[in-house]
Amino acid sequence: MARLPPPSLPPDVLVLGGGAAGLMAALTAGRAGARVVLLEKTRRVGTKIVISGGGRCNVLPSVLDERVFVTDSSRRLMSRILASWPLADQRRFFEDDLGVPLALEPETGKLFPVSNRASDVRDALVGAAEAAGVEIRTGADVTALSPADEGWAATLRDGPTLSARTVIVATGGLSVPKTGSDGFGLRLARTTGHRMEPTYPALAPLTADLAPHADLAGVSVPDAQVRVPLTKGAFETAGGFLFTHRGYSGPAVLNVSHLTALGRARGDAPAVHVAWTDTSAADWEAALTEPGRGLVAATLRAALPARLADRLLADAGVPPDRARADLRKDERRRLLDALTAYALPWTGDEGYKKAEVTGGGVGLGEVNPRTMESNRQPGLFFAGEVLDAFGPIGGYNFFWAWATGRLAGLGAATN
């Protein structure tokens, strides 16, 4: 049964932002017995949940490797926060508590709702929040937050002010601003004295000036291996790769874009090398030197989309009608490079407009990792993308949003 707070009583907890973290925070605080009002600037809550995973919502990863998360804050603090709600418990929460069964996509290791409908995830969270007595107000754009007598007062764009003992800032970062996240929480955190890590777009498609591969737009390979040499070692990731009109996308590209963005900001843009399949250079060499009368082009086309195969041949300076038996040593060497360490001529990225997440944000050392309460501003809590941590494609970013939302909800309710 819904337990709605009497309208005359002010809320205990205000949640700013109705995304993944805000919804989880609100429902957790409501279940912990607090009177909760969630303020969402746009006309709908959970917009990013609904567009996530291509409309299917990759709710969680099937395995959590915390080493893949990125933060400029203390990794020890990040680990503590990640460990607060283990993957198996999160999965159980969605399946058993919210009634959203999840299924594994074996080729990617991602968990999606069995229904493949992202809106089911949003609706289940909203339903559970409302059942816990949370009042959800949409079209409620918070323009300022200031200390009040016994807590905080939030000013809304259309006039009224709402006060509460505790406030959870779950307004997201700067990514895909058309969904409502325009950096309000980041500005608020900065102006209230919190140490911020510089922000940058992450999980963004790369661009290439003059679009040298525009003729391949739409061509994709399922298992590219992308490698970014770093000062110490290299960053490697594997997965889908897609040519776009302006550059490159797909999980394997998105997963390295934080390195290219950070490198570019330092004036030290890193190289990005692509192996188009998981075939090793030695195996490619064996295939290219196999006796017989076949064409080199046919060997490539057997493993790659024809347009990409032909382009790699041209880039390596190998004539399209070259027979394998006639492939010269220098041609073979260039072709092996093009197949296993293709230097991607990227020059930039699509920025926040298309970035799936924001890197940087409120330093993790600014919050109590048990409650997500600010160490500087008592009664102020942070959750989700506004904080300085993100993960690769694969459900890691929702894992972060659910975990930090839950901690903040519990912390703010019991404060």
Ligand X SMILES: Cc1cc2nc3c(=O)[nH]c(=O)nc-3n(C[C@H](O)[C@H](O)[C@H](O)COP(=O)(O)OP(=O)(O)OC[C@H]3O[C@@H](n4cnc5c(N)ncnc54)[C@H](O)[C@@H]3O)c2cc1C
The enclosing H or E element of 56 equals: none
* Residues in 369-398 that interact with ligand X by CB under 6 A: 384-385, 395-398
Name the DSSP letter for residue 386.
G
Close Cβ partners of 187 (under 8 Å, ≥ 6 residues apart): none
Instruction: Candidates 85-93, 165-173, 253-261, 345-353: pick the segment binding ligand X (CB under 6 A).
Output: 165-173
Residue with tokens 């959970």: 46
Stretch that binds ligand X, among 130-138, 166-174, 236-244, 365-373 (CB under 6 A): 166-174
The answer to whether 28 contacts ligand X (rule: CB under 6 A) is no
**Minimum distance of ligand X from residue 47's CB (angstroms):** 6
Query: What are 407's two structure tokens?
Result: 């901690």
Site for ligand X contains 22 (CB under 6 A): yes
Pick between residue 37 and residue 259 the one whose CB is nearest to ligand X.
37
Q: Choose between 140 and 242: whose C-beta lies nearer to ligand X.
A: 140
Residue 218 — φ and ψ, nearest 5°? 100, -20
Rounded to a whole number of angstroms, the minimum distance from the CB of residue 280 to ligand X is: 31
Pick out residues in 31-70 that bind ligand X (CB under 6 A): 39-42, 47-48, 51-53, 57-58
Site string for ligand X, 104-143 (x = CB under 6 A): ------------------------------------xxx-
What is the secondary structure of 336-377 as a DSSP string?
Answer: HHHHHSEE----EE--TTT-SEEEEEE-GGGB-TTT-BBSSS
Question: Which single residue is written with the structure tokens 């040593």?
Answer: 329
Question: Rounded to an integer, what distance in angstroms lies between the CA atom of residue 32 and that of residue 26?
Answer: 10
Among 184, 276, 284, 402, binds ligand X (CB under 6 A): 184
Rounded to a whole number of angstroms, the minimum distance from the CB of residue 11 to ligand X is 15
Count of residues engaged in binding ligand X, rule: CB under 6 A? 38
Beta strands in 62-185 (DSSP E): 102-105, 110-113, 135-138, 142-148, 151-156, 161-164, 166-169
Nearer Cβ to ligand X (45/318)? 45
Q: Can you say how many angstroms the Cα of residue 344 is from the centroid of all Cα atoms in its chain?
A: 23
Cα separations in angstroms, 180 against 52, 140, 170, 347, 408: 15, 11, 12, 28, 21
Q: Is 250 in the site for ligand X (CB under 6 A)?
A: no
Residues that bind ligand X (CB under 6 A): 16-22, 39-42, 47-48, 51-53, 57-58, 140-142, 170-172, 175-176, 180-181, 184, 356-357, 384-385, 395-398, 401
